[in-house]
Amino acid sequence: MDFLKYPQPLAELISSLSRLPGIGPKTAGRLAFYLLQQPQVSEDLAKAIVVANRDIRKCSICSNFTDHDPCAICKNMQRDLTALCVVEHPRDVVSLEKTGEFKGIYHVLHGVLSPMDGIGPEQLTINQLLRRLEGIKEVVMAMNPTVEGEATALYLARLLKPMGIKVSRIAHGLPVGGDLEYADEITIARALEGRRDL
């Protein structure tokens, strides 16, 4: 999209919106025009962004996003403090919490190892993770099933197993309602590996 045809402030708005994940130039243009036609929505959005940037920070214990430190999960003494689930991003904590199945605590890495992108252990919260393992009996790896996610899980497992901590991985496989005919070989293989008794 050629931003030069637009007045400079509008072109900059479109350019800024198109930097958001999943927003291309056309969608950014539509959003920009909508925001200009809805000044109250624009104002509310701008205020919400400013407040979130000001008030949201990383929990000093688990690195999840929070507006109170420590976060509600880390403060909750009803949680299983012997089980720790390691995730890539704060949104992953939300996804796992929605299931109501995991009763332990979390640690957010804020990414995965990716040497090609210059992301090593120092760029993630691995050191903080290693400092909070006292009393932990099991660490559950809940990384996405990508090459980088698998590499990160294996790297952490190599660090944790010599400490006598059980390291497990969430199962991967077919989604509920999925059809074998349309699943790729890797997904089917993972589903077979993760099978269990009925």
Stretches where the chain sits below pLDDT 50 are none
Q: How many CB atoms lie within 10 A of CB 35?
A: 17
**Stretch(es) of the chain classified as CATH 3.40.1360.10:** 77-169
The confidence score (pLDDT) of residue 175 equals: 76
**Taking the model in full, what pTM does it have?**
0.84
**At 19, phi and psi to the nearest 5?**
-80, -10
CATH code of the domain occupying 77-169: 3.40.1360.10
Token readout for 112 is 């995965």
Say how far apart CA 57 and CA 60 lie, in whole Å: 9
* The pLDDT value given to residue 2: 53
C-alpha to C-alpha distance for 104 and 15, rounded to whole angstroms: 42
| Strands 57-58 and 65-66, sheet pairing | antiparallel
Predicted confidence (pLDDT) per residue in 138-196, tens digit: 999 999 988 899 999 999 999 999 999 999 998 887 777 777 677 778 777 877 777 76
| DSSP single-letter state for residue 119 | B
Task: Kindly tell me the number of DSSP H helices and DSSP E strands found in the chain.
Answer: 8, 6
Q: Is the domain covering 8-55 a CATH 1.10.8.420 domain?
A: yes
Per-residue model confidence (pLDDT) at position 196: 67
Every domain of the chain with CATH number 1.10.8.420 lies at 8-55
Give the C-alpha separation, 3 to 169, whole Å: 46
